[in-house]
Structure 1
Amino acid sequence: MASTRREFLALAGAGMMLGASGRLWAQVSTTVGDWQVTSVSDGHLSLPRGFYFDGLPEAELAPILEAQGLMGDMIASPCNVTLARREGAVVLFDCGAGPAFMESAGELIEALDVIDVAPQDVTHVVFTHGHPDHLWGVLDDFDEPVFSEAAHLMGDAEWNYWRDPETVETIGEARASFAVGAARRLELVEERITAVADGEEILPGLVALASHGHTPGHMSFVLQGGSEAFLVAGDAIVNGHVALARPSWELGSDQDPAQGAATRLRLLDMLVTEEMRLIGYHLPDGGLGRIERAGEAYRFVAEGA
Structure 2
Amino acid sequence: MHLSRRHFLATSAAALALPYGRAWAATTVAMGPVRIDSLSDGHLELPLDFAFADLPEAEVSALMARHGLAAGGLTPPCNLTLLRDGTNTVLFDLGSGPDFMPTAGKVIEALEALGLTPEDVTHVLITHGHPDHLWGLLDEFDEPVFAQAEYMIGQAEFDYWMDPATVESIGEERASFAIGASRRLEVVADSIRKLADGEEALPGITARLTPGHTPGHLAYEIATPEGALMVVGDAIGNHHIAFERPDWPSPSDQDPPLAAASRVALLERLAADSIPFIGYHLPQGGIGRVEKTETGYRFTGEI
TM-score (norm 2): 0.92
Cα distance in structure 2, aligned partners of 1:34 and 1:128: 24
Cα distance in structure 1, aligned partners of 2:23 and 2:156: 32
Cα distance in structure 1, aligned partners of 2:302 and 2:36: 12
Are 1:48 and 2:52 matched, yes or no? no
Question: Please, which runs of 5 or more residues in structure 1 have no aligned partner?
Answer: 1-5, 11-22
May I ask how many residue pairs the two structures share in their alignment?
Answer: 287
Are 1:65 and 2:64 matched, yes or no? yes
Residue 15 of structure 1 corresponds to none
Query: How far apart are 1:67 and its partner, in Å?
Result: 1.6
Q: Root-mean-square deviation (CA), in Å? A: 1.6
Letter in 1 for 2:101: M
Q: List aligned pairs for 1:166-205, cutoff 5 A.
A: 166-205=165-204
Q: Secondary structure at the match of 1:47?
A: coil
- Which stretch of the first structure deviates more once superposed, 221-230 or 155-164? 221-230
2:8–2:25 Cα contact (<8 Å) kept: no
How has the CA–CA distance of structure 1 residues 24 and 47 changed in structure 2, closer, same or farther, with 3 Å as cutoff?
A: farther
Letter in 1 for 2:182: A
Query: How far apart are 1:24 and its partner, in Å?
Result: 7.8
1:32–1:224 Cα contact (<8 Å) kept: no
Q: Secondary structure at the match of 2:98?
A: helix
TM-score (norm 1): 0.91
Letter in 1 for 2:175: A
How has the CA–CA distance of structure 1 residues 33 and 200 changed in structure 2, closer, same or farther, with 3 Å as cutoff?
A: farther
Cα distance in structure 2, aligned partners of 1:296 and 1:189: 44
2:8–2:24 Cα contact (<8 Å) kept: no
Deviations 1:183-242 (A, max 9, x none): 101111212311010000111100000000100000000000125111000000011111
Deviations 1:17-51 (A, max 9, x none): xxxxxx98311010234211110000000111112
Residue 269 of structure 1 corresponds to 268
Residue 293 of structure 1 corresponds to 292
Cα distance in structure 2, aligned partners of 1:275 and 1:218: 22
Residue 127 of structure 2 corresponds to 128
2:9–2:113 Cα contact (<8 Å) kept: no
How has the CA–CA distance of structure 1 residues 216 and 174 changed in structure 2, closer, same or farther, with 3 Å as cutoff?
A: same
Letter in 2 for 1:25: W
- Which stretch of the first structure deviates more once superposed, 248-257 or 291-300? 291-300
Query: How far apart are 1:300 and its partner, in Å?
Result: 1.0
Cα distance in structure 1, aligned partners of 2:284 and 2:24: 9
1:39–1:80 Cα contact (<8 Å) kept: yes
How has the CA–CA distance of structure 1 residues 228 and 250 changed in structure 2, closer, same or farther, with 3 Å as cutoff?
A: same
Q: Percent identity?
A: 51
Q: Secondary structure at the match of 1:39?
A: strand
Residue 19 of structure 2 corresponds to none
How has the CA–CA distance of structure 1 residues 222 and 170 changed in structure 2, closer, same or farther, with 3 Å as cutoff?
A: same
How has the CA–CA distance of structure 1 residues 24 and 129 changed in structure 2, closer, same or farther, with 3 Å as cutoff?
A: farther
Residue 31 of structure 2 corresponds to 32
Letter in 2 for 1:213: G
Q: Secondary structure at the match of 1:76?
A: coil
Cα distance in structure 1, aligned partners of 2:302 and 2:40: 16
Residue 9 of structure 1 corresponds to 10
Query: How far apart are 1:272 and its partner, in Å?
Result: 0.8
Query: How far apart are 1:8 and its partner, in Å?
Result: 4.0
Residue 260 of structure 1 corresponds to 259
Deviations 1:247-302 (A, max 9, x none): 11110001111011100000001001111000000011100111111212111111
2:31–2:226 Cα contact (<8 Å) kept: no
Residue 4 of structure 2 corresponds to none
Q: Secondary structure at the match of 1:153?
A: strand
How has the CA–CA distance of structure 1 residues 61 and 84 changed in structure 2, closer, same or farther, with 3 Å as cutoff?
A: same
Residue 15 of structure 2 corresponds to none
Q: Secondary structure at the match of 1:99?
A: coil
